[in-house]
Amino acid sequence: MRSILFVTFYCIPFLLFSQLQISTNEIIGKQLPRGATSNPYKLRKEVYDAFLLMKGAALKDGIEIEIVSGFRSFGRQSAIWDRKFQKYQKQGFNKKESAQKIIEYSTYPGTSRHHWGTDMDIIQKVKNRPTQLLVAKNFENEGAFCELHQWMQKHSERFGFYLVYTKDISRTGFSYEPWHYTYKPTSKKILKRALKSDVYGFLLKEDQNPLDFNYFNTHILGINSLLKE
Ligand SMILES: [Zn+2]
């Protein structure tokens, strides 16, 4: 009885009021997420713990989940952006058009959810691995990862994981990504913090940036509506 009282009076208020620990540099991928060193994908500790629970449950149903991308640094995102930008420029697109092509699937450095250590791209371990992993058709109908997709649709939210770029036709921004999941309990707080801090406003003001301020609404907020509640 005494221990129940202790939990009620001391621990619950602590849990309710405990603050999310995150710096601006963590939001934009210039610093490793907290607890990242304890796992190979550099995810935040609570995210990786929740992932392992989900992975174990899926394994009991015969599905082996594999992470292909967890944390991504600002530098890595810059390299992706620059490579694609140069490719489109060479094909004759102007600055603005090149950026528009890139943001079908990739985001401007500093604005990726992969910077947060809460988001991951996953596939299923299968015998015949397709050469291109992260394409929607692998996750649908008879695709190589269709079992994983069905399992995640049924169970992932119970473990805190939500699809970010859903098939919802009213959603704007990045294309449908049936492989990209986020750990909602943490990422919801980080998004709130990021928008409040105006870190994205700062990034989008950079001279080299060909995107306009609509990018906030169309792309950064163009996510599963359950993640904005
Ligand atoms: Zn992703």
What is the C-alpha radius of gyration for the chain, rounded to an integer number of angstroms? Answer: 19
Q: Report the separation in Å between the CA atom of 178 and the middle of ligand 1, taken as the mean of its atom positions.
A: 9
Q: Report the separation in Å between the CA atom of 71 and the middle of ligand 1, taken as the mean of its atom positions.
A: 9
Q: What does the pLDDT read at residue 53?
A: 98
Q: Which two structure tokens, joined as six digits, stand for 180?
A: 């990209």
Which has more confidence, 29 or 17? 29
Per-residue pLDDT of 18-40, as tens digits, reads 578 889 999 999 999 988 888 99
Any residues with CB less than 8 A from the CB of 159 and at least 6 apart, and which?
50, 51, 53, 54, 57
Q: What does the pLDDT read at residue 12?
A: 45
Q: How far apart are CA 57 and CA 215, in angstroms?
A: 37
Strand order across the 161-163 sheet: 65-69, 119-124, 180-183, 161-163
Q: Report the separation in Å between the CA atom of 24 and the middle of ligand 1, taken as the mean of its atom positions.
A: 21
Per-residue pLDDT of 85-116, as tens digits, reads 999 999 999 988 898 899 988 999 999 999 99
Q: Report the separation in Å between the CA atom of 3 and the middle of ligand 1, taken as the mean of its atom positions.
A: 43
Q: Report the separation in Å between the CA atom of 38 and the middle of ligand 1, taken as the mean of its atom positions.
A: 21
Share of the chain above pLDDT 90, in %: 72
| Contact predicate 16/6, CB 8 Å | no
Q: Report the separation in Å between the CA atom of 40 and the middle of ligand 1, taken as the mean of its atom positions.
A: 16
- Could you say which DSSP state residue 104 is in? T
Q: What does the pLDDT read at residue 79?
A: 96
Q: Using 50, 70 and 90 to split pLDDT, how confident is the model at 185? A: very high
- Rounded to 10°, the helix 146-155/45-60 angle is 110
Per-residue pLDDT of 203-220, as tens digits, reads 777 655 667 768 888 999
| Cα-based distances in Å from 138 to 66, 143, 169 | 14, 4, 20
Q: Report the separation in Å between the CA atom of 114 and the middle of ligand 1, taken as the mean of its atom positions.
A: 6
Q: Report the separation in Å between the CA atom of 70 and the middle of ligand 1, taken as the mean of its atom positions.
A: 8
Q: What does the pLDDT read at residue 130?
A: 96
Q: Report the separation in Å between the CA atom of 128 and the middle of ligand 1, taken as the mean of its atom positions.
A: 22
Q: Report the separation in Å between the CA atom of 17 and the middle of ligand 1, taken as the mean of its atom positions.
A: 30
Q: Using 50, 70 and 90 to split pLDDT, how confident is the model at 11? A: very low
Q: Report the separation in Å between the CA atom of 136 and the middle of ligand 1, taken as the mean of its atom positions.
A: 13
Q: Report the separation in Å between the CA atom of 163 and the middle of ligand 1, taken as the mean of its atom positions.
A: 10
Q: What does the pLDDT read at residue 17?
A: 41
Per-residue pLDDT of 53-74, as tens digits, reads 999 999 999 999 999 999 999 9
Q: Report the separation in Å between the CA atom of 154 and the middle of ligand 1, taken as the mean of its atom positions.
A: 20
Chain centroid offset of residue 123 CA:
14
Alpha-helix residue ranges (DSSP H) falling in the chain:
2-6, 12-17, 24-27, 45-60, 74-90, 95-102, 146-155, 184-197, 199-204, 214-215
In terms of residues, how long is the chain? 229
Domain spanning 25-227, CATH architecture: 2-Layer Sandwich (3.30)
Q: For the chain, give the mean pLDDT.
A: 89
pTM here? 0.87
The string of DSSP codes covering 132-187 is S-S-GGGGSTT-TTHHHHHHHHHHGGGGTEEESS-S-TT--SSPP-TTEEEEHHHH
